[in-house]
Amino acid sequence: MREIVFDTETTGLSPAGGDRMVEIGCIELINRVETGQVFHAYFNPERAMPAEAYAVHGLSDAFLAAKPRFAETVAALIEFIGDAPLIAHNAGFDFGFLNNEMALCGQPAVCPTRMVDTLAIARQRHPGAKHSLDALCTRYGIDRSHRVLHGALLDAQLLAQLYVELMGGRQIGLGLDAAVIEVESVSVAAASRTAVIRPARPHSASPAELARHAAFVATLDDPLWPAAPAAQATG
């Protein structure tokens, strides 16, 4: 199963109020294992960066001025995400900005049915606990020591690890290779064909053993079983 974990950085909190997306980072998972395939891009938001947002992610007007506009990169983004489920932390926020950018460049919105919200999953699994990305990484032992500022690709990488843990751990993504299964099956079959067949061990008593048993029974007072017939005793 192919899934995409993603995160965004923006100029603020409200696309309806004119805020824009300035960075997106996407991580590809196959059967909940990272494949190493990523999509990462910065965008010129065509507006000034508020100081509050700059303090969060450190993306300045000067840095973003030379970056492409979202419309110039959208085709590559659409190709990368395909029709896979899209996983984000507080996914409604990221979907809101993603679909705002889609609308601004005339692209159809990403269907909300593709949305997987790790914040909602974490609240269900750990009610009453802290559910920020930082707090959940601490809970699951995910190293975030290199996270000084927010960054879309870095946060998506952390979220990919967190998502796997929330869904049951890395063993969920492990599978048996069909080729290995076939090779092992052939090896077992071959071993069966070359196995050494040994004769069955004898289990019946010998004539001498039967005779000794009959002699012993004859010494008993009122035995519960009769002496063995002469024919059986002698074979």
Two tokens at 176? 């048996």
Catalytic-role residue among 131, 150, 203, 213? 150
Q: 7 among the known binding-site residues?
A: yes
Which of helix, strand or coil describes residue 114?
helix
Tens of pLDDT, residues 142-169: 998 887 778 999 999 999 999 999 999 8
* Structure confidence at residue 173 (pLDDT): 43
Two tokens at 39? 């999509």
Residue 233 scores a pLDDT above 60: no
Residue 122 scores a pLDDT above 70: yes
Among 7, 21, 56, which residue's Cα sits nearest to residue 160? 7
CATH class, 2-173 region: alpha beta
Residue 18 scores a pLDDT above 90: yes
* Structure confidence at residue 228 (pLDDT): 53
Residue 36 scores a pLDDT above 70: yes
Q: 34 among the known binding-site residues?
A: no
Q: 209 among the known binding-site residues?
A: no
Tens of pLDDT, residues 45-87: 999 999 999 999 999 999 999 999 999 999 999 999 999 999 9
Among 17, 37, 18, 41, which residue's Cα sits nearest to residue 29? 37
Q: Is the Cβ–Cβ distance between 188 and 180 less than 8 Å?
A: no
Q: 19 among the known binding-site residues?
A: no
Most confident listed range (62-71, 189-198, 215-224): 62-71
Tell me the β-bridge partners of 38: 27
Tens of pLDDT, residues 89-103: 999 999 999 999 999
Is 89 among the catalytic positions?
no
Across 212-231, average pLDDT: 70
Residue 225 scores a pLDDT above 80: no
**How far apart, in whole angstroms, are the C-alpha atoms of residue 195 and residue 98?**
64
Residue 40 scores a pLDDT above 90: yes
* Structure confidence at residue 69 (pLDDT): 98
Residue 9 scores a pLDDT above 50: yes
Domain edges within the chain: 2-173, 205-235
* Structure confidence at residue 172 (pLDDT): 41
Secondary structure (H, E, C), 15-34:
HHHCCCEEEEEEEEEECCEE
* Structure confidence at residue 196 (pLDDT): 61
What is the chain's mean pLDDT, rounded?
Answer: 86
Q: Is 159 exposed, middle or buried (0-12, 13-18, 19+ CB in 10 A)?
A: buried
pTM greater than the 0.85 cutoff: no
